[in-house]
Structure 1
Amino acid sequence: MKMMFYLSLMIITILLLLSLIVNLISKKTFYDREKNSAFECGFDPMTTTRLPFSLHFFLIAIIFLIFDVEITLLLPLIFTLKISNMANYCLILIFFISILLLGIYHEWNQGALNWTK
């Protein structure tokens, strides 16, 4: 039993060393600045980190996320159409869409949707 344990331990060690050697020999390394750098949303990570960030892009992205979440809240209303009361369904739907329209009107009045300022 002891002999079997030592034999399996030796085989595992040889296989690990062999895989390490094969990995080091066959590894293709390219020392390219672009390929070794991380991709950070179009920013060059090798330059200074104090580049100005477009606030308009950030606001449009936040508005998109808000309305994307609102669409995921609207989709289950389609499936509950058959099992719900039509008056309550219409009331909830009108209330929900009016909140969305008031929100987009407010963003429009504040100038958040104007790309050039």
Structure 2
Amino acid sequence: MLGVGALLRPKSIPTRRGTQAYECGEDPIGSAWVKFNIRFYVVAIIFIIFDVEVAAVLPVATQFKEAVLNGGAGLVFAELFLFIALLILGLIYCWVRGDLEWVKGVTLNAPKK
């Protein structure tokens, strides 16, 4: 089936214009590769980590009442506490390293005499 389509379709001739990005009929200006600051990626990764944390904690939190009735509340609480404590330690680590600062200070070395 794919071979028949390849045989029947018209042959395309690559041109310079055909390999360029299409920008609403306008001729492209500049490069399509835009360099982003690495801080955008760090903030996005930290957001994703905490977003996944919420998705992981919510089901456990909704079943906590059932665990209390069945006598397993201590284990569920310990698991949640350990999980959240690990995330908080990771946040503190990022904070101490300065990864959450948008504008980092520049330290200048004093000239040696």
The CA distance in 2 between the partners of 1:67 and 1:86, in whole Å, is 24
Give the number of equivalent residue pairs: 77
The CA distance in 2 between the partners of 1:107 and 1:54, in whole Å, is 17
Larger of the two Rg values belongs to structure = 1
1:89 aligns to 2:76 (yes or no): yes
Unaligned runs of 5+ in 1: 1-32, 38-44
Runs of 4+ in 1 over 4 A off after TM superposition: none
The CA distance in 2 between the partners of 1:81 and 1:51, in whole Å, is 47
What is the TM-score normalised by the length of structure 1?
A: 0.58
Q: 1:57-96 counterparts in 2 under 5 A?
A: 57-84=40-67, 85-96=72-83
2:97 partner letter: Q
| Identity in percent | 35
Matched residue of 1:75: which SS?
Answer: helix
Q: Alignment RMSD, CA only?
A: 2.1
What is the TM-score normalised by the length of structure 2?
A: 0.60
Query: Which one has more relative contact order, counting CA pairs under 8 Å at least 6 apart?
Result: 1
